[in-house]
Structure 1
Amino acid sequence: MIDELEFKIDLQSGRIDKILADFMPKTSRSQIQAWIKGGNLSVNGEVVKANYKVQLGDTLKLTIPEAEKINVTPENIPLDIVFEDDDLLVVNKPTGMVVHPSKGHLTGTLVNGLLYHVNTLSEGTAYVRPGIVHRIDMDTSGLLVVAKTNEAHQKLAEQLENHTMEREYYALVHGVISHEDGTIDAPIARMHIDRKKRTVAEGGKHAITHFEVVERFKNYTLVKLNLETGRTHQIRVHMKYIGHPVVGDPMYGPSETITGFGQFLHAATLGFVHPTTKETMHFEAPLPDYFADKLAELRKI
């Protein structure tokens, strides 16, 4: 069944996605943005984008499509759960695991495992993404926060959008970086010839990555990176852009690289304000064994 909701703006003004979030407190803002992106929201009869600024007197009409039945199968997949309470989980994802089902990856994902291990997850932004606030690539390991309720999802998503969620990564990259630190401020867009890949391009989405050198090797550098924005493949695209692609990256790295374990990229630190208790949460995950072993091997060269 398709629902149609109508709102009359007589008190508030501001971004339309934020206004709708106030009207619909039990619906995550990311879900609202997905509906808007899908063309399901009109203002005074005209379809608008999520950054539209509502004006007093505007009439908003939201068409909520019939929810697709979640046909993702719960699977008894071992999960490294670092923290869990009634609102959220923090999971340390291994390399090789896809975060949510997609074409070609319908089983064995983090979502499949979550549906088996917990009783409730937030709606997410699509029927195959319950609980998923943010993602990391299949061949990237490390920490993710997962929402159990829509309220928690919305507040965590807002921290992501406001760049107040702490996310720190370690990456082994090709080449020896001569300077100690740097900031990559370069917009990222989809490639026209291959829509699965991203590239730095004028007119792309704003993207900023900060990095500092941790250790140098003969032909490689270990770097620590902090994300100011969270674009798809951001670290991988930005490091390639400055001539130091991530080691083992099958999409953006050179053909001659260290292989066998996926890319050497690990989400090591995650910090955020708890959506209910308001406590500042901080989590760290050590480098996977294969990553630590490779660094030990490089130190001997």
Structure 2
Amino acid sequence: MAVTYASRTLQVTDPADDGRRADVVLGRRMPGLSRRMARRMALDGHVRLDGRRIPPSARVRLGQVLEIVWSVHEPGEEPDESVEILAVTDDYVFAAKPAGMHTHRLRPDQPAALADYVARLHPECATASPDPREGGAVHRLDLETSGVVVFARHRKAWTAAREAFSRGAVAKRYLAICHAPPSWPPTGPSDLPGFVRPDDDDAVWVEAPIGRGPRRDRAAVSLRGPSARTRVRRVCTSPDGRYVLTALDLVTGRRHQARVHLAFLDMPIVGDVKYGPSDEIELPLLLHGTSIDLSPLAPKVEAPPSDAFVDFLAAHGMGDTGPASPSPPP
């Protein structure tokens, strides 16, 4: 992966910015950069004022020039073998995101993300989303999650897909290998009843709202949070009863929704140290976005699970990774 250096400059010309903090001005005026990111980059030594390195709290004056300088990790000439373009239509590009790679960069100086690889092959995606950081991505997967990600090829397609996601009109199927619950069907904690209901012998609906967690990097079931709906279907169980392969249909798209809802059922995903056993840090998160259906905007596209996912199933005597037939929400 090649490393070069890039910079962006901003001259302070608005009287409203005179005397304000550098990170505030950058977050307000520089497209695709939030104040939080500007502060972090200043703390890391990437922000200059009239050529001199400054802290995020430095005050700026009219006529001065702010500059951000960072190292750029560009995709190499040869594509990453773990990145696969699954399908391309006139409006969308479907790519397989490997675990451990961001969907798009959250900061300019982060390593190359999936959006960078997609833009190398389809440059039009880079300008399809209003926020240039997103590179046309119409949704995101967690860093640790693998699976299908959709990129728009132009602004109209991006807007249409985002509206479909907002309406809950996009069918998203995940596979997860979980720690088996004490019994089936799982019911959730006794002090929060009413959020889990059976669908059939092998499936339940989880309808627990999700809000902020105890830490910034976590979410949690919260009565104050927005509604969230997940259908959890048992596909197979390991012969020793320790693990269960599940197929998940996410009707909504809350932060860490699959992970939070499965932990709520007392069946956390294998390798999920945020919501499950903390001693599984050496294991990958065994959560995979196996398909996404944008119909009628685009056909359904699927991505096979990673080798690590398939190997875990084989090592524990579990069956096929093919998901069970989806059930539309009632």
- Asked if Structure 1 and Structure 2 have the same fold, meaning a TM-score greater than 0.5 normalized by the shorter chain, the answer is yes
The offset of 1:105, in angstroms, is 6.8
SS class of match (1:259): coil
1:75 matched to which residue of 2?
75
Kindly provide the CA deviation profile for residues 180-221 of structure 1, in whole angstroms up to 9, marking residues without a partner as x: 210110111112x41221001111011100011001122111
CA distance in 2, matches of 1:225, 1:105: 34
1:282 maps to which residue? 300
Unaligned runs of 5+ in 1: 2-34, 39-68
What does 1:262-277 align with in structure 2 at a 5 Å threshold? 262-275=284-297
Name the aligned partner's letter for residue 297 of structure 1: A
* CA-CA distance at 1:284 after TM superposition: 1.6
Counterpart of 2:124 in 1: which secondary structure?
Answer: coil
- What secondary structure sits across from 1:83 in the alignment? strand
> Which of these residues, 252, 259, 264, is aligned with residue 229 of structure 1?
252
How far, CA to CA, are the matches of 1:249 and 1:270 in structure 2? Answer: 23
Q: Of 234, 256, 260, which residue of structure 2 is paired with 1:213? A: 234
3-state DSSP class of the match of 1:281? coil
| Structure 2 residue runs without a partner (length 5+) | 1-9, 11-31, 36-67, 186-201, 319-330
Which letter does structure 2 place at the counterpart of 1:194? R
Q: Distance in 1 between matches of 2:145 and 2:257?
A: 12
Which deviates further from its counterpart, 280-289 or 134-143? Answer: 280-289
1:64 paired residue number: none
Residues 89-113 of structure 1 show CA distances to partners (whole Å, capped at 9, x for unaligned) of 0011111111111259711211222
The Cα offsets for residues 13-51 of structure 1, whole Å up to 9 and x where unpaired, read as xxxxxxxxxxxxxxxxxxxxxx9xx9xxxxxxxxxxxxx
Distance (Å, rounded) in 2 between the aligned partners of 1:288 and 1:114: 19
* Number of residues of Structure 1 aligned to a counterpart in Structure 2: 232
1:228 is displaced (CA, Å) by 0.5
1:23 corresponds to which residue? none
In structure 1, the residue matched to 2:26 is none
Query: 3-state DSSP class of the match of 2:316?
Result: helix
Matches within 5 A, 1:98-137: 98-103=102-107, 106-121=110-125, 122-137=127-142
* Larger Rg belongs to: 2
Moved more, 248-257 or 119-128: 119-128
| Structure 2 match to 1:91 | 95
Q: Answer whether contact 2:105 2:111 (CA < 8 A) is retained.
A: yes
- Contact 2:273-2:281 at 8 Å conserved across structures: no
1:240-289 per-residue CA deviation (whole Å, 9 max, x = no partner) reads 111111110131111233733x20001111111254xxxx5012222211
How does 1:17-32 map onto structure 2 within 5 Å? none
Q: Is the contact between residue 171 and residue 264 of structure 1 (CA under 8 Å) also seen in structure 2? A: yes
Closer, same or farther in 2 for the Cα pair 1:230/1:297, shift >3 Å?
A: same
| Structure 2 counterpart of 1:124, one-letter code | S
State whether residues 116 and 135 of structure 2, in contact with CA within 8 Å, keep that contact through their aligned partners in structure 1. no
Q: Contact (CA 8 Å) 2:73, 2:109: kept in 1 or not?
A: no
In the alignment, structure 1 residue 146 sits paired with structure 2 residue 151 = yes
Q: Contact 2:129/2:158 (CA < 8 Å) preserved in 1?
A: yes
Distance in 2, Cα, partners of 1:281 & 1:157: 16
- The residue number in structure 2 matching 1:295 is 313
> Normalising to structure 1: TM-score of the pair?
0.70
Aligned match of 1:156 in 136, 157, 161? 161
Identical columns (%): 29
The reply on whether 1:252 has 2:275 as its aligned counterpart is yes
- Taking the aligned partners of 1:295 and 1:196, their CA distance within structure 2 comes to 29
C-alpha spacing 1:167/1:130, structure 2 compared with 1 (3 Å): same
Paired residue secondary structure (1:107): coil
